[in-house]
Amino acid sequence: MNTQIIFILLSLMAIGSAVMMLASKNPVKSILWLIVVFFAISGHYILLNAQFLAVVNIIVYAGAIMVLFLFVVMLMNLNAETEPVKNYRLQFIGVISGGSLLLILLTFLMRTPVAQPVQMKVGESGLIGKLGMTLFQNYVLPFEISSVLFLSAMVGAVIIGKRN
């Protein structure tokens, strides 16, 4: 029962944050709301006993990619004076196409039979220890090759960046 309540709270948090992300007029605030969505999704991963995915989601998406998005948005220096003129015809077409998509999705959901609730299986498939043992026992060579490729890509990026 507790996991259902946590699931519902995380789902409401994800949906509410996604709506706020879309409704926000400031791009920085929109990115911050997207970070909240990523944290809610990580909570869902933890409920599914996939702690590694939750940690990777927080580190990679909420950490690195969102910082990159914030950096790009702040680097672009979006001001209201430089904003292009709004085309109301395009906005009308967007509202019509979005409403059509919503109607199609609602029609599809109404015709789909309701599925029976799925019981979560508790196991070790999503745990970090099991993943690490599989990674370092069965896939050592591909793991090391990928690390060398990443290292060579970083060296190449530094060389290209220092060329000027």
pLDDT digits (tens, 9 = 90+) for 127-161: 677 777 877 888 888 878 888 888 888 888 777 77
Q: Are 4 and 48 in contact (CB under 8 A)?
A: no
Quick one: 35 exposed, middle or buried, by C-beta within 10 A (0-12, 13-18, 19+)? buried
How is residue 150 written in tokens?
């990443």
Q: Which of 94, 9, 98 is closest to 46 using CA atoms?
A: 9
How is residue 36 written in tokens?
């909240």
In order along its 164 residues, the chain shows pLDDT tens digits of 688 899 999 999 999 999 999 898 888 888 889 889 999 999 998 888 888 888 888 888 888 888 778 777 777 766 556 666 678 888 888 899 989 999 998 998 888 787 666 565 555 555 677 777 877 888 888 878 888 888 888 888 777 777 66
Residues whose CB is less than 8 angstroms from the CB of residue 18 and which lie 6 or more positions away in sequence, other chains included: 33, 34, 37
| pTM > 0.75 | no
